Amino acid sequence: MKIFLDTADTQEIIRAQILGLIDGVTTNPTLIRKSGNDPLHVYSAIADLGIQDISMEVFGGLDEMHTEALKLSERFGDVATIKLPMTKEGLIVCQDLSKRKIRTNITLIFSIPQAILAAKSGATYVSPFVGRLDDQQVAGLEVVRGISSLYQIKGVETQVLAASIRSVQRAVRSFYNGADIVTMPFSVFNQMFDHILTDKGLEIFDKDIAALNKEN
């Protein structure tokens, strides 16, 4: 059961990493654009923080994706997970990278048939987009459950990385429905620590400790 942070903000990663609970980082063009830096700068900054699994997305046609994937793998080594789109070209590149023992993450997964093809292509991870499925009135968690169940039945090594997570509830239920990894924004990760009864309990304990100190 692993937690990835979905961000290109190094300050968020530092704040989360100090807790010792983050297993990797996923990025995408939107997050990188928000950071105001180019992709290589972002990847290098994240790698410098000691993150051992960084999803780095490649684009373009087959040859362009393949070339860029090999460049990223050569530059960042075992830290790099090459993020590829769920397309025919993306799966062809995935097959070659798999033979080279390079980690891959097939993104934009919205159905079980897509997950089957990605697994047969040797993908390390598949990323079903829970939130975007929910937006289309499709139960995103059911897709996560279906993929996870099928992989388990067939003994598939590809791991399910639930993405597009917008709430703590969706993060927890993704794990409950079989996700091996959940990637989430820093805001959702931070909310996992919170519960009103924890706050009330701490308040009571603080008052009792203060009272004990006065008595002694």
Q: Are 128 and 147 in contact (CB under 8 A)?
A: yes
- What residues are labeled active site? 83
The H or E element that residue 51 is part of is: none
Q: What is the DSSP string of 59-100?
A: -SSHHHHHHHHHHHHHHHGGGEEEEEESSHHHHHHHHHHHHT
Residue 128, helix vs strand vs coil: strand
Q: How far apart are CA 131 and CA 51, in angstroms?
A: 25
